[in-house]
Structure 1
Amino acid sequence: MNAATALIRDTFPVGPLQCNCTIIGDPVTKKAIVVDPGGDHELILARLEKHGLKVVSIIHTHAHLDHFLASGQLKEKTGATLHLHKDDQFLWDNLKMQCELFGVPYTPVPAPDRWLSDDEELACGCGVALHTPGHTPGSMSFWFADAKLLIAGDTLFRRGVGRTDLWGGDQATIVRSIKQRLYTLDEDATVITGHGPDTRLGDEMRNNPFVRA
């Protein structure tokens, strides 16, 4: 993609737990990736249609229930491939259990088509996957350097960090991921969090009460 061509970016809350779903589209090829379709597949499809985009990859920051609830329906409707880091396979394999635990209706989701790797280039050639474990063992962030855009999932929030008291979470690991992988990126970057408002990376580096650079 031409670096001078601005990405199409659309972020909106979906599902019962209001996970932030993000569409990243190439305005030239009209191909797109969808990150964390946590519900409301018809809304996601409508947003794609509004932008004239065709989704080719459905990628997940991690495999907690609120980030996948529309993945199966979205794959069925679009034929896009599902992507996840292999270290979260145990969570993906237990999605039904997660839903039952949180009282959320379970919609079956097929197995991921591909495992994400650290520093892997994403579809559309517009970004890279960063392995940022801690919230879960397979947590990923997605970095779009030309757009100065970071999708951090539940690793980093505005003045907060992801909880580590769920399956496979680890406090020391999430701190290391934030300091060594996220805080080394462009501090002018906009951070899309897993829930709630965007933030600016430099603001978190200086003001996040849990992890400072």
Structure 2
Amino acid sequence: MTNQTAFIRQTFPVGPLQCNCTIIGDPVTRKAFVVDPGGDPELIMAKLRELDLQVVALIHTHAHLDHFLASGDIKKQTGAPIYLHEGDKFLWDNLEMQCRMFGVPYRPVPDPDYWLKDDEELPCCEGVAMHTPGHTPGSMCFWFEQPKLLIAGDTLFRRSIGRTDLWGGDYKAIERSIKQRLYTLDEEAVVVTGHGPDTTIGEEIRENSIIRG
């Protein structure tokens, strides 16, 4: 767990494809949101109880199956609304097909409650949503300026980028998103990736062999 000046942050892998799920919480109000609850709902709920946080939203970087498989279970237990960019509705609606393709057991998930917009403020902790299409049409990143933290989903990885050969992927779009939106952020910012270890914006500008700054 990382306690930043502005909030509580805990990131941990969940689900069959080990997506990084992140809990962001306000240490004063105890309000929180969960980013990419991609599996293991019991683990996510245990972490929330341990941190004594009340979930106000379930927020998704995109709608590939491994980033929202537990969203229905968490919503049922917390009542928290589901947030997604509308550009990924077609992926959300085709969860069963995605599960079949990847050999993952299918469980229905309710429809999103709220469509995220570019540059929209998140429900707590002074985060801002950034529309960064490319990995999927509706891919989002979430930027927290004060602690210099970016939740990048599958747009940017340590020394790599999100694949663009799945439904709606677009290499030119992800290149624009990374160069014009992410690489213009503070180089000291920590990047929480969708899978694998954290990195920083500066490291990726200098050392990412696929898209350099």
- Over aligned residue pairs, what C-alpha RMSD do you find? 0.9
What TM-score, normalized to structure 2? Answer: 0.97
C-alpha distance after superposition, 1:76-106 (max 9, x if no partner)? 0000000000000000010111001111011
Aligned to 2:113: 113
Q: How does 1:131-210 map to 2 (within 5 A)?
A: 131-210=131-210
Q: For 1:89 and 1:26, how far apart are their aligned partners in 2? A: 29
Aligned to 2:63: 63
Q: How does 1:1-16 map to 2 (within 5 A)?
A: 5-16=5-16
Structure 1 stretches of at least 4 aligned residues deviating more than 2 Å after TM superposition: none
The one-letter code matched in structure 1 to 2:63 is A
The one-letter code matched in structure 1 to 2:113 is D
- Contact 2:135/2:162, CA 8 A, preserved across alignment: yes
- Contact 2:85/2:140, CA 8 A, preserved across alignment: yes
Q: For 2:95 and 2:26, how far apart are their aligned partners in 1? A: 31
In the TM superposition, residue 124 of structure 1 has moved relative to its aligned partner by: 1.0
Q: For 1:106 and 1:76, how far apart are their aligned partners in 2? A: 17
Instruction: Show structure 1 runs of 5+ residues with no match.
Output: none
Aligned length in residues: 210
In the TM superposition, residue 107 of structure 1 has moved relative to its aligned partner by: 1.3
Q: For 2:6 and 2:136, how far apart are their aligned partners in 1? A: 32
The one-letter code matched in structure 1 to 2:136 is T
C-alpha distance after superposition, 1:97-152 (max 9, x if no partner)? 10011110111110000000000000114200000000000000000111110000
Aligned to 2:86: 86
Q: For 1:81 and 1:135, how far apart are their aligned partners in 2? A: 24
Q: For 2:30 and 2:85, how far apart are their aligned partners in 1? A: 26
The one-letter code matched in structure 2 to 1:42 is E
Q: What percent of counterpart residues are identical?
A: 72
Partner secondary structure for residue 48 of structure 2:
helix
The one-letter code matched in structure 2 to 1:110 is P
- Contact 1:83/1:112, CA 8 A, preserved across alignment: yes
Partner secondary structure for residue 150 of structure 2:
strand
Aligned to 2:98: 98
Partner secondary structure for residue 203 of structure 1:
helix
- Contact 1:5/1:27, CA 8 A, preserved across alignment: no
In the TM superposition, residue 5 of structure 1 has moved relative to its aligned partner by: 4.0
Q: For 1:157 and 1:174, how far apart are their aligned partners in 2? A: 12
Alignment of 1:77 onto 2:77: yes
- Contact 1:186/1:201, CA 8 A, preserved across alignment: yes
Q: For 2:105 and 2:88, how far apart are their aligned partners in 1? A: 21
Aligned to 1:27: 27
What TM-score, normalized to structure 1? Answer: 0.97
In the TM superposition, residue 6 of structure 1 has moved relative to its aligned partner by: 3.2
The one-letter code matched in structure 2 to 1:32 is A
The one-letter code matched in structure 1 to 2:89 is Q
Partner secondary structure for residue 124 of structure 1:
coil
